[in-house]
Amino acid sequence: MPTPTHAIDTDELPPPPSTGEAAPQVAPPMDPADLGEVPEFGHVIPNGTYHFRLDKVYLNWNDPRGDADAATKLLGAQPGYGLLWIVQEEPHTGLSFMDNCPYINAKTIEEARAGNTTAKKLMRRLSKLKKIMAAAGFNPGGPYSVEGDFFGANPEVKIRTNVAQKKQREVDDDGQVKYVDTGKKQNEAVDYFPLTRPT
């Protein structure tokens, strides 16, 4: 085969044969005015009741400092979940908020079953989770994993939310916990309902 005498310019190549497929879609051009009423990133959801889907779950543990309370001394630190809920209806689709859902450790469950009064009181930490599971129609017939069987299914519920001042948890050198106003706003869950509830 003879050696080419010059580099091949792509303009010299014939166009590829047509496959009959439509041209790929491209994003339409935008005008600055189009973004005028679009909420800022992190915009809080207005007060109301909306359809939400559980998107992510974060496990955390309380961090007792100083003189821990009697329940912590007896039963140890307690876990909790951060639930990231995302709106599933317009005009707020995609907006989200973080919901704190207390839980209990294995020792607390064991002691509560054995009749320990302190452990039984701590079982009240499950009241929010119980309400969320009922709203989602989760009614297992036997033992289940909260993370795998319930959270892992990305349940969907309606949540009534409020806008509240965002506070930051701080612990001083003496172990005293206080919540300081950050000057920002955040959403808080007020109640949970099945999807069949009218908005």
- Predicted local distance difference test score (pLDDT) of residue 153: 96
Q: Is the pLDDT of residue 9 over 60?
A: no
Buried b (16+ CB within 10 A) or exposed e, 167-198: eeeeeeeeeeeeeeeeeeebbbbeebbeeeee
Quickly state the pLDDT bin for 3 (edges 50, 70, 90).
very low
Model's pTM, two decimal places?
0.72
Q: Across all residues in the chain, what is the average pLDDT? A: 82
Tens digit of pLDDT for each residue in 46-99?
Answer: 999 999 999 999 999 876 655 567 787 888 889 999 999 999 999 899 999 999
Which of helix, strand or coil describes residue 157?
strand
Domain ranges of the chain: 42-193
112-161 per-position pLDDT tens digit = 999 999 999 999 999 999 999 999 999 998 999 999 999 999 999 999 99
